[in-house]
Chains A and B, each alone.
Chain A
């Protein structure tokens, strides 16, 4: 990590000069450092505000605010989750507190105004900070490595020796050597000799800039996704199909403000078979939904096995397997034997019960009075003789059975609010209960019969489309790459100066490491030794032992 001062002693001003611009961060780092050129007269306040906003310490404070702002969302129920029930139950439990929290946006933290404000300020701060840095860095990449300081022996690491070759030849050899080591080099000649300046590790700053730019990209991708994404849930019973259209969903697609019905990808999907496998202890091992699907109605169908963690991708949307359950088929006939009802009912699995599902049947037409039924389906119906209750001894449909209670009367459909999974019993009377195995029929007093005709499984799928996901992934990967470069690439400078004297050419070599000076020392020594060897210098008489000064890491 670079830190601002390289030198602590005033007499090293030369070195300070040589180390200038090792990082463009320098010019934007301090809180009061100027970020961009000259200050135009007239708007000092704005200017100061802008500079404050784009300073590193403001970025830091905003980062902490962002972290802090995210906390309440993890402690309170959020509406952003697919399941809105927790918020309403929080309302029920804390009737006086909940409205206040709600007004503060605490049930929608991640889409609340104040969260967006922090996030927006960070984005602005990033843009303001990055623009001048990008410009400076672009310039630095094109600039020549800086001229050697007057006295190379003042540098943190240095050495010198004498050779017979003339200065220009020394410079040429040094140039070749450094090039081979992938240094950026610059050769200069002067009256008294020649010099080579070399620099390495620009990638560090490039990486740092890439990291920060990618963060901006990530913010943009997330924002874009939140405008154009959607998500919804639907169930398909074995042997049946589904067409992607809003009214057919169990949980309607919810998504960004910019979403219209036309945005739904028009695929069709049919479930041929659902298979669940379990360990002996009832713990599931895997779920398979074998489907036929087509990207749009009328196109040829393909088959696919959708599993947990293995979604089906259809035209920008993805279809996930989210759950499953049992759907018994009921046939209801009037006393004349005419079929008045024949359909599957989706039963909702109850947690921790070996997949026992509960559901209802409503038969409003064709029989008088209307018939309602509450039932539970047991995949492996087992009766506890001592206690006299039913349970399922396995989640697999080895011996399915239905326990039911039938009602007659008024279903109050269209009168009271009710869903597919509950009965409004205010107008109903219980008339019969018991158990049914597949194929069995129960006959009511007025001759109406109810048959548990068959048992199938159904699968619950979730469709999502998030056009921001891929850009977000690309941005994240760029950020990671930039981060690695920024943290691990090391910046170094080396100068070689050859000066002709009466007794031969004095070659002095000096180096400066901005990061990790410890590992630079051996690197530098190797380099100097290579140079010496390349010049055929007798390795015997270094005029100066390698010197080491304190450097900041």
Chain B
């Protein structure tokens, strides 16, 4: 089946522009974070009444009445923040266009090699961010979410770039499509959760140091516990999807190779990732582990996930004909 070169080229170009949008948005979020004004005092002193709610906590920029100068600075920074969201949405639209045209150009699911997979993974992370943004004020996570997204897309378009090509027969399977879709979706959500986890750790440290109310740019952030809840909820959402991806992968392996599990490096690292994230969820309910230690486990989980993807495909040859960089 021939490849539609025109569409494939369009896809590459769209991805390039989308990446630029993300870079701009990332800088915008970072500027808002650095120059935005302090959240109202109640932001961190709120817990007795509304501590249970993420929604009631102000995001990076809250409302409040302070001196005129500060107000103008706030609206300036807040405007940058809102503009960054708009640019993110624009980038997201182009990104969706890129993935769709790529799929159309080869007439198959557009995650058949590392280049495509990276792009879709980044798309899943951005989608998670934008989706949650419609329900919770989590703009403060913008810069930290965009950073791995941009890095991912940068690597994808350079080192991992692969021209559009049809799939080899072993990869052309129903279960494989299900497996990779679930894997890429959960990875994207994990990527978002990772950003929140890191921010939680930073904020938690500063709260510990200052005895509750962080100063400087960190003071703009909601309480560590609220950030932790965002991290937990997204991880807990991604975990069953990852579990499903591993099961679907095992079913596919059973169909393709006659053995559902043979400890090839990809499977091994998917397993390690699963175990570490299970450890994270388990740790959050274990005395002496919740909070910072659990969050560190979550970070390790993401490192394992990235190794499962980059490390295994690039450094370890295995049965997965996926290492088709």
Partner-B contacts on A (CB < 8 A): 1-4, 25, 29-31, 56-57, 59-60, 63-64, 66-67, 70-71, 73-75, 78, 80-82, 109-110, 222, 231, 279, 283-287, 307-311, 318, 320, 322, 462-464, 466, 469, 472-473, 476-477, 479-480, 483-484, 487, 517-518, 548-553
- Could you say which residues of chain B place their CB within 8 Å of the CB of A110? 263
Q: Bound complex: CA of A318 vs CA of B232, how far in Å?
A: 42
- Whether the pair B290, A3 counts as a contact (CB closer than 8 A) is yes
Q: Bound complex: CA of A284 vs CA of B169, how far in Å?
A: 7
- Could you say which residues of chain A place their CB within 8 Å of the CB of B13? none
- Whether the pair B255, A310 counts as a contact (CB closer than 8 A) is yes
- Could you say which residues of chain B place their CB within 8 Å of the CB of A483? 239-240, 243
Cβ distance B289 to chain A, nearest Cβ, rounded Å? 7
Instruction: Name 29 interchain pairs, CB-CB below 8 A, sorted by A.
Output: A1-B236, A1-B281, A3-B285, A4-B287, A29-B285, A56-B287, A59-B282, A63-B282, A64-B279, A66-B275, A70-B271, A74-B312, A109-B263, A284-B168, A284-B169, A285-B1, A286-B172, A320-B256, A320-B257, A466-B259, A473-B251, A480-B243, A483-B240, A487-B237, A517-B53, A518-B53, A518-B54, A550-B50, A550-B52
Cβ distance A283 to chain B, nearest Cβ, rounded Å? 7
Residue of A nearest to B246 (CB): A476
Cβ distance A380 to chain B, nearest Cβ, rounded Å? 20
Choose from B54, B173, B282 the contact partner of A309 (Cβ within 8 Å): B173
- Whether the pair B265, A480 counts as a contact (CB closer than 8 A) is no
Q: Bound complex: CA of A1 vs CA of B265, how far in Å?
A: 32
Choose from A56, A66, A550 the contact partner of B282 (Cβ within 8 Å): A56
Given A480-B240, A487-B239, the answer on whether A57 and B258 have CB atoms closer than 8 Å is no
Choose from A75, A279, A551 the contact partner of B52 (Cβ within 8 Å): A551
- Whether the pair A60, B255 counts as a contact (CB closer than 8 A) is no
- Whether the pair B256, A308 counts as a contact (CB closer than 8 A) is yes
- Could you say which residues of chain B place their CB within 8 Å of the CB of A466? 259-260
- Whether the pair A60, B283 counts as a contact (CB closer than 8 A) is yes
Number of chain B residues close to chain A: CB under 8 A: 63
Excluding A57-B288, A60-B282, A473-B260, 16 further A-B contacts by CB distance (< 8 Å) are A1-B281, A31-B287, A60-B286, A63-B275, A67-B279, A109-B263, A110-B263, A231-B258, A279-B1, A285-B169, A309-B172, A309-B252, A311-B258, A462-B257, A487-B239, A518-B53
Interface centre among B52, B53, B237, B283 (most CB of A within 10 A): B52
Residue of B nearest to A472 (CB): B260
B170 at the interface (CB under 8 A from A): yes
Cβ distance A158 to chain B, nearest Cβ, rounded Å? 14
- Whether the pair A477, B258 counts as a contact (CB closer than 8 A) is no
B92 at the interface (CB under 8 A from A): no
- Whether the pair A70, B256 counts as a contact (CB closer than 8 A) is no
- Could you say which residues of chain B place their CB within 8 Å of the CB of A469? 254, 260
- Could you say which residues of chain A place their CB within 8 Å of the CB of B254? 469
Given A466-B259, A518-B52, the answer on whether A279 and B166 have CB atoms closer than 8 Å is yes
Cβ distance A98 to chain B, nearest Cβ, rounded Å? 18
Q: Bound complex: CA of A463 vs CA of B258, how far in Å?
A: 7
User: Which 6 pairs across A and B sit closest by C-beta, in order of nearness?
Assistant: A464-B258, A74-B265, A74-B268, A67-B275, A309-B173, A517-B52
Cβ distance B266 to chain A, nearest Cβ, rounded Å? 9
- Could you say which residues of chain A place their CB within 8 Å of the CB of B259? 231, 464, 466
Prevailing SS type, chain B contact patch: helix
- Whether the pair B285, A1 counts as a contact (CB closer than 8 A) is yes
Residue of B nearest to A109 (CB): B263
Q: Bound complex: CA of A25 vs CA of B282, how far in Å?
A: 11
Q: Bound complex: CA of A309 vs CA of B170, how far in Å?
A: 7
Given A74-B269, A311-B258, the answer on whether A476 and B169 have CB atoms closer than 8 Å is no
- Could you say which residues of chain B place their CB within 8 Å of the CB of A231? 258-259
Given A31-B288, A57-B289, A311-B258, the answer on whether A550 and B265 have CB atoms closer than 8 Å is no
- Could you say which residues of chain B place their CB within 8 Å of the CB of A518? 52-55
B247 at the interface (CB under 8 A from A): yes
- Could you say which residues of chain A place their CB within 8 Å of the CB of B268? 70-71, 73-74
- Could you say which residues of chain B place their CB within 8 Å of the CB of A322? 257
| B123-149 interface (Cβ within 8 A of A) | none
Q: Bound complex: CA of A368 vs CA of B269, how far in Å?
A: 58
Choose from B48, B170, B279, B304 the contact partner of A60 (Cβ within 8 Å): B279
Given A74-B269, A309-B173, the answer on whether A1 and B284 have CB atoms closer than 8 Å is yes
Cβ distance A78 to chain B, nearest Cβ, rounded Å? 6
- Could you say which residues of chain A place their CB within 8 Å of the CB of B278? 63
Cβ distance A548 to chain B, nearest Cβ, rounded Å? 6
Q: Bound complex: CA of A479 vs CA of B242, how far in Å?
A: 13
B72 at the interface (CB under 8 A from A): no
Contact with A along B209-222 (1 / 0, CB 8 A): 00000000000000
Q: Bound complex: CA of A466 vs CA of B262, how far in Å?
A: 12
Q: Bound complex: CA of A75 vs CA of B263, how far in Å?
A: 11
Interface centre among A60, A73, A286, A469 (most CB of B within 10 A): A60
Contact with A along B153-179 (1 / 0, CB 8 A): 000000000000110111011010000
Choose from B240, B263, B282, B290 the contact partner of A73 (Cβ within 8 Å): B263
